[in-house]
Structure 1
Amino acid sequence: MQELNDIDFSERDTLFIEVILPLSLSKNYIYRVPFELNEHTAIGKRVIVQFGKNKIYTALIKSISQTAPALYQAKYIIDVIDEHPVVNPLQFQFWDWMTAYYLCNEGDVMSAALPAGLKLASETIIILRDDVSLEELELTDKENILVTALEKQKRLTVDQISKLLGQKTVFPLIRALLDKEVVHIAEEVVEKYKPLLKSYITLNPFYNEEGNFRQLFEVLERAPKQLDALLMYIKLSKSGIEISRQQLLEDSGCGQAALKALMDKEIFFLQKKVVSRLNDESDDMILNFKLSPAQNTALEKIETEFQTKDVVLLHGITASGKTQVYIKLIEQAIEKGGQVLFLLPEIALTTQIVERIKRYFGDAIGVYHSKFNDNERVEIWKSVMNGKYKIVLGARSAVFLPFKNLKLVVVDEEHESSYKQNEPAPRYQARDAAVYLAHLHQSKIILGSATPSIESYYNALHQKYGLVTLNERFGGVELPIQEVVGIAEETKKKKMVSYFSSVLIDDITATLERKEQVILFQNRRGYATILICKTCGFAPKCVNCDVSLTFHKSSGKLHCHYCGYHESSMNICPACGSVHIEQKGFGTERIEEELSLIFPEVKIARLDVDSTRTKNSLQKIIGDFQEKKTDILIGTQMVAKGLDFDNVTLIGVINADTLLNYPDFRAFERSFQLLAQVAGRAGRRDKQGKVCIQAYDADHRIIKQVVDNNYLEMFNDEIAERRQFHYPPFTRLIFINVKHKDSNLLNAAAARFATMLRAQLGTRVLGPEQPLVSRIRSYYIKQLIIKTDKSTAIHKVKAALKQTIADFNGENAFKGVIIQIDVDPY
């Protein structure tokens, strides 16, 4: 594949290209290249192709040959978009692996990999026919309005027509004009990426000569604001930097009219330049900090492990200073001329670690995550490709970036479930994908966590990965004191105030009196888990999903957390007419309200999905807490990830039981990880923290292991159970969801598919069963599980599964049934 880009094709050679379309197709398609585009054709470039009768798509050239497809006549491509490839050969290898490992299609991977700004949108354009005689046609009033507009503007999009006519549905009208052969449709591809242009002010070169320059003061003598603008321009220009229009307006205070007058007089010229949307830092590299003896030892052990292993697990307790160790490893990789990928579970929640890394490495850093808009993501993509960024910090999608010389990958908090993409395909685990990416680039990878995943720790103990421990908190900071409070016992003694034990209230009071801060953890958002009629027991459910609706007081509505459906809150029972409605369960909203009643003078903020929907709301909440404008921060698991506040000395867990009672074989492992990570936020530097964990099952072994900081005991307990009941890391799992809107058809389809799959794989196939939530977005779901021993050749299992799906899809009785594959569910 790589060599084909180096071949110079004659402009008379007939070229055929295999392209990847951004669609979930079972195979790629072959297109023919017009002779005049031969010299522009190269692997990794984007091309515009027609697929189907009317649709236009951006596709990627994967291979080039001179062999026509055997079974169909290849269409010609419309155009080649790029001057240079946007995807490199190693990326294609990475995509091939992901397609094969996660049993998805190449189009799924392309859609996940490329930022939306590099994928072109197909927009339907309506054009007036040249050969039409309008006088002979009978048109309705609205048809006349549209035809008149088309005579003036030549072409209109469907959206523009909607606005012109003031109606949402215009397809019948367009269809009528198509039938009358008045208009025709063109599919026009619109480039989504638009460079950001910034306006700069320059002085007319005529006035660079001293004599001419003096004249300006005479010209502007009676225009004081224009003179102020000129004087400020002179002052700013002495620094040698370009002067933006915005900066000159702000610094001179001259106003828009004065600046326009100077441009009208041709004293100033306006130039528009393409600038980066990215907030690049320009600090010099500062690497003068010193590692502690424990950190130094860990660094040396990692370097030793890297001599014989490509993957090293760094098991460092919370606040042990893993980031400083990462920085030293990053420095070494950059000194060798390489690039570094630093993965974080949720980049938007890790602003502190991003700023820390930026302080050390300056503008050699790019940050890549979903909070950036399309244009920003394209600029980062291009900056990585051209080598501008030596370090990229990103969430899981950063594994798809076009690295040229990757030398080191860091996966921080490697245990985090947010590294796994659940919807849509490819349902990949970014940590595991990063291990393969590092292998492709022949680079090293470090996995870091205070609470490693069972699988990673097992791999380290069995010599697949290197293992390095860092079990001292940086700066001699003491581990927090941890206290468990039994909710049942406190309730019995009437010591509970709302959802807070007397112990927790006393701890909060004492912490606030010391002018220190508190974080409270409740892993459920909203106000009340359900509303229920006390008379007949009716509880409102989602119309699309098999779940109860959650009451959110801030919106006054009932919300579905699966599909986004919402409806007005229930004041009267729709089933029996009763007004006796009870709120059951509680989320972060309720905790915030109840706490405000107990501590009315205290400033309280909430950190969850609902409070951070806007672009900058998250930074504001975290920033206000960092600057001590907020005293108490209440949050879901978002508060456990990457936050580091010097003044937080108390962590309160409102109800630990909600974590422990989840029906999943990883529930105890995840409970330990989350509780340990939350507890790790307490106490920094010279302040010892305290953690108060409230639970009904106060004697649960996981809670005791968290209090004792005993990861190894938790690991040994979990690994024994998984060995006994055949769960990872001793087996491999593949979940198969069968979906359809008709439950009866689904039941028949799932049974048939299970029979077909068992014929291939026997007792390795379990199910079909109803999952915990058996209907989502109007689709009923049945689930099968393939469970295989590690000794089984997994590629043969996957081949059998793919063949079974193909055979099943060929059965007419089950057209429209959706089959989704999740390899290594997490």
Structure 2
Amino acid sequence: MNTLPPVVHVAVQRPFYSTLDYSYDPTQGSIPLGSRLEIKLAGRTTVGVVMGSSPTPTLADPKKLKAITRLMDNEPILDAHLVELLDWAAKYYHEPIGEVVFTALPSLLRQQRPLNLPIWWQLTATESPTELQRAKRQLALYEWLKAQGGYVSEDAVAAWAGNGWRVTMRHLEAKGLVASTTLPPAPLEHIATAPHLTLTPQQLATIEGIQHAITQAELKPTLLHGITGSGKTEVYLRVMAPILAQGKQVLVLVPEISLTPQLLGRFRTHYPHERMVCLHSGLTDQERLQAWLQAQQQQVRIIIGTRSAVFTPCPNLGLIIIDEEHDLSFKQQEGFRYHGRDLAIKRAHMLNIPIILGSATPALETLHNADSGRFHYFHLAQRPGTAKPPSVQLQNIRGQTLRSGLSSTTLSMIKDTLARQEQVMLFINRRGFAPLLMCSSCGWSGQCEHCSANMTYHARQGKLICHHCSVEKLVPEHCPQCGHHHLVTQGQGTERLELVLSQTFPTIPIIRIDRDSTARKGALAERLQQVHEHPTAILVGTQMLAKGHDFPNLTLVVVLEADAALLSSEYHARERFGQLLVQVAGRAGRSDKAGQVIIQTNHPENPALVTLLAQGYTLFARQLLEERRRWHYPPFGYQALLRANAPELNDALDVLDKMAEHLQLFGLGGVILLGPTTAMLEKRAGRYRTQLLLQSANRKALHTLLNYLTHTIKQLKFPANTRWSIDVDPLDLT
């Protein structure tokens, strides 16, 4: 007779590339998949999540198998689908399984305490049956619950009903009149229904085409490519309707927290009777947990969130929408380096549900998938009503005298726009007052001691701040090198532009929107409200202003310092430049007023810039795709970036040298190794950064090599205090 104990495979928050096995006593009940356990690891108690089970242990000596300490919750926190998705993600991104699983959980579920949520009681019938007339206590409790709105916490029931209330409540539960739940109801705000917009023929045809595509037996992702202001959100809202009518859930992913309130408002006015939640980094731990659990228990059917919301448990998920699918914010750049868009596509495929990717500037990979027939493709090329795309003017500033980066022609156009009582946006992707503070006598500059970069001068705070490691120091009164008192600035940022414009246009509100001005909670919403309250205003900001915002009275957009990305050696830079330029330009002329965009440049003849403006984003993107095809860059090849960092440069290089040698001994199988070399930003936060790029025309060969590396990495001895990471499908090679 087999007396060996059954085994559960447990993911723990440690750098292990496989699960750990623990035994349990089957007489105490089964251990469901996705449950949290308390276990002993290296003499300490910790939390684990069950990723699978076996009827018998696989260890040669079962006596060495430790037993679980206890089951932490009554119900699993992850369903079978999410367990499968997370297991796939750990394998694809070559990340320790525990790091992946615990990244997906709200922080309160990573802690070593049971999920003891208060019990709420909910009415499940609108009318009391006649037999309650003879059960006075039950009738009284029922009528009180009804008067409270149908949802009441156990504490409130006990305070009102006194001793013995549980017996009475159980009688009502047995009759099917009430039910218990561990969550209060998601709030249903009383918002007036917005009048449905009149759709353009192009929108109607697109909605009909998408609805036909997502009802096919064999589904594939849908790309909705719509110019800025073409009404993509309205298409999302209409396509969702039949999904919601079937009682299913819809998950909407957006790239930035700044977009969630605006999008949530659109969704709430269109679906005022639907409960919905937002998941983003601005929530408290308790708020995030509650929203997560409301989605898990199907109290809400519309879930809107940023990147990590892709892991939200939605047992009845029927549709995923990714707005601004091209945005770099969907890619996690630290820790578990996943791509939210790609994981959403995988999740939709696993569940065989439709997924819609929307953008005015699709990522090259997405556009290539549409061109090759792997994605459905729909194009919105017109703005509704009388709104027209803005006219775009290249302004050659070579040799001109500029005032804080602004030409005399630009200043004149700003003045004319304000005279018409319209709004102007000045876009510069650099916050602070100036990127460089230097001594005019000896040439000293304010460099960061911890990074190979200059510190940015922030005039209002009187500080130099490193935008790479966040180190701050007060601005010196004189040159630290020669003692000279005349320190000067070079270049400009949003803060300097704000100052110059307030001096030039003293009666006009200047509204600056960047990471500094919106750091306080609620500050972004306040500033966006100011934009809507002042029909005549100047907006100054970084790429926070470029994404998804609708400013009806904005008619002039000025793009400053557009050249840096065009001259970058990083092959992703031109794609991002094109996307950002189109998105920024799309803020102008979104109502019935004509919009105009000025791009100040020293290189008006740049071929990529000429193509983008003369022929549009699609041809610009296909030109970049053709270049990538020649170099076998993604999406025509596959890449992974091995990174290492250490306090000493030679130690960081040594890590990757050993990895490269280790991989070559195994056999590269057609994978090309480029490096090791120093990163473009060689030093950051006191640590030197190096990288080794792996490139292959064959995805399987690349992943075979990475799998070998992660499972044999312990054989390599690295210098002390070094760190390394793997980035699969990297989007930032700096």
- What TM-score range do you get, normalising by the shorter chain? 0.7 to 0.9
Equivalent position to 2:7, from 16, 21, 27: 16
Distance 1:277 1:389, change over 3 A: closer
1:574 to 460, 480, 483: 480
- Asked whether 1:490 is paired with 2:481, we answer no
Check 1:808–1:342 CA distance in 2 against 1; reply closer, same or farther (3 A cut). Answer: closer
State the distance in 2 between where 1:436 and 1:293 align.
32
The corresponding residue for 1:623 is 529
Find the residue that maps to 1:409 and give its secondary structure: strand
Give the Cα separation in 2 of the matches to 1:96 and 1:732.
21
Structure-2 separation of matches of 1:47 and 1:803 = 30
1:732 and 1:506 map into 2 onto residues whose CA distance is: 49
Alignment of 1:342-491 (within 5 A): 342-362=252-272, 363-425=274-336, 427-491=337-401
SS at match of 2:517: helix
Query: Quick check: 1:771 aligned with 2:682?
Result: no
1:821 maps to 726
Matched, 1:755 2:661: yes
Q: Which blocks of at least 5 consecutive residues in structure 1 are unaligned?
A: 1-11, 121-188, 198-236, 245-262, 267-272
CA separation of 1:806/1:745 partners in 2, compared to 1, >3 Å: closer, same or farther?
Answer: farther
Query: What pairs up with 1:112-261 in 2 under 5 angstroms?
Result: 112-120=103-111, 189=112
Mapped partners of 1:86, 1:48: distance in 2: 14
- Take 1:806 and 1:95, find their aligned partners in 2: how far apart are those partners? 19
The structural deviation recorded for 1:687 is 1.1
Tell me the CA shift for residue 316 of structure 1: 0.8
Amino acid in the other structure paired with 2:524: L
CA contact (8 A) 2:563 2:601 kept: yes
Match of 2:71? 80
Contact 1:47–1:60, Cα closer than 8 Å, also in 2: yes
CA distance in 2, matches of 1:52, 1:670: 46
Task: Say whether the 8 Å CA contact 1:551–1:559 is kept in structure 2.
Answer: yes
Where do residues 592-607 of structure 1 align in structure 2 (5 Å cutoff)? 592-607=498-513
Please, which of 43, 46, 58 is the counterpart of residue 36 of structure 2? Answer: 46
* Cα distance in structure 2, aligned partners of 1:305 and 1:357: 23
Once residues 186 and 509 of structure 2 are traced to their aligned partners in structure 1, the CA distance between those partners, rounded to angstroms, is 33
Partner of 1:680: 586
Measured at CA, do residues 775 and 309 of structure 1 come closer, stay the same or move farther in structure 2, by a change above 3 Å? Answer: same
1:508 Cα offset (Å)? 1.7
2:182 is the counterpart of 1:291: no
Question: Is the 1:477–1:685 Cα contact (8 Å) retained in structure 2?
Answer: yes
- For the residues of structure 2 that align with 1:311 and 1:745, how far apart are their CA atoms? 44
Structure 2 counterpart of 1:587, one-letter code: G
Tell me how far 1:747 sits from its aligned partner: 2.7
- Tell me what 2:137 maps to: none
Structure 1 residue 554 corresponds to structure 2 residue 460: yes
Aligned in 2, Cα 1:628/1:386: closer, same or farther, shift over 3 Å? same
Cα distance change, pair 808–439 in 1 and its aligned pair in 2 (3 A): closer
- In 1, the alpha carbon distance for the partners of 2:400 and 2:438 equals 26
The alpha carbon displacement at 1:190 in A equals: 5.0
Cα distance in 2 for partners of 1:282, 1:67 equals: 55
Matched, 1:102 2:93: yes
Determine if contact 1:412/1:447 at 8 Å carries over to the other structure. Answer: yes
CA change 1:52–1:304 in 2 (3 A) is: same
Q: Are the equivalent residues in 2 in contact too, given 1:605–1:630 (CA < 8 A)?
A: no
Structure 1 contact 479–683 (Cα < 8 Å) conserved: yes
Q: Do the aligned partners of 2:94 and 2:706 also contact (CA within 8 Å) in 1?
A: no
Structure 1 equivalent of residue 634 of structure 2: 728
Post-superposition shift, 1:796?
Answer: 3.5
- Post-superposition shift, 1:276? 5.5
1:320 aligned counterpart, secondary structure: coil
Q: Return 406-415 or 546-555, whichever deviates more.
A: 546-555
Greater CA deviation, 62-71 or 764-773? Answer: 62-71
Distance 1:712 1:802 in 2: 37
C-alpha contact 2:255 2:324 (8 A) present in aligned 1:
yes
For each residue in 1:19-42, what CA deviation from the matched residue of structure 2 results, as whole angstroms up to 9, or x when unmatched?
Answer: 111233222212233577x23732
Question: Using the alignment, how far apart are the partners of 2:495 and 2:725 within structure 1?
Answer: 35
2-side partners of 1:87 and 1:283: how far apart? Answer: 33
Map of 1:324 onto structure 2: 234
TM-score (norm. length: structure 2): 0.86
1:525/1:193 Cα in 2 relative to 1: closer, same or farther (>3 Å)? farther
CA distance in 2: counterparts of 1:190 and 1:431, whole angstroms: 32
Structure-1 residue corresponding to 2:651: 745
2:317 is aligned with what amino acid? L
Query: Among 694, 709, 716, which residue is 1:786 paired with?
Result: 694
Q: Deviations over 1:331-384 (max 9, x none)?
A: 121122221111111132342222001111234221111111111111111111
- Contact 2:260 2:305 survives alignment (8 Å): no
Does the 8 A contact of 1:193 with 1:375 survive in 2? no
Corresponding letter in the other structure for 1:754: A
2:437 maps to a residue whose letter is L
Alignment match, 1:111? 102
**TM-score, with structure 1 as normaliser:** 0.77
Match of 2:47 in 1: 58
Shift of 1:317: 0.8
Structure 2 distance, partners of 1:521, 1:642, is 15
Deviations 1:698-733 (A, max 9, x none): 232333344336123202321221122221111111
Q: Distance in 2 between matches of 1:822 and 1:466?
A: 29
Match of 1:7 in 2: none
Whose radius of gyration is greater, 1 or 2?
A: 1
Q: Does the residue aligned with 1:773 lie in a helix, a strand or coil?
A: strand
Deviation per residue, 1:790-826 (Å, 9 max, x gap): xx2x234222223235444323354553221111112
The whole-number CA distance in structure 1 between the counterparts of 2:102 and 2:449 is: 30
Asked if the contact 2:427/2:557 (under 8 Å) is kept, the reply is yes
Letter in structure 1 aligned against 2:384? F
Match of 1:802 in 2: 707
Post-superposition CA distance 1:467-521 (Å, at most 9, x none): 1111011113111122221122533xxxx33321222212222222222212110
**1:124 equivalent in structure 2:** none
Aligned partner of residue 680 in structure 2, secondary structure: coil
Name 2:83's counterpart in structure 1: 92
CA offset at residue 571 of structure 1? 2.9
2:39, 2:45 within 8 Å by CA — same for their partners in 1?
A: yes
Which residue identity does 1:451 align to in structure 2? Answer: T
Counterpart-to-counterpart distance in 2, 1:113 and 1:718? 34
Is the 8 Å Cα contact of residues 311 and 445 (structure 1) preserved in structure 2? yes
Equivalent residue number for residue 506 of structure 1: 412
Quickly say closer, same or farther: Cα 1:275–1:460, change in 2 above 3 A: closer
SS at match of 1:540: coil
Gaps of 5+ in 2: 121-143, 152-158, 163-180
Q: Equivalents in 1 of 2:84, 2:276: separation in Å?
A: 25
SS of the equivalent of 2:709 reads: helix
The answer to whether the Cα contact below 8 Å between 1:406 and 1:438 also exists between their aligned partners in 2 is no
Q: Distance in 2 between matches of 1:663 and 1:381?
A: 42
**By how many angstroms is 1:680 displaced?**
0.4
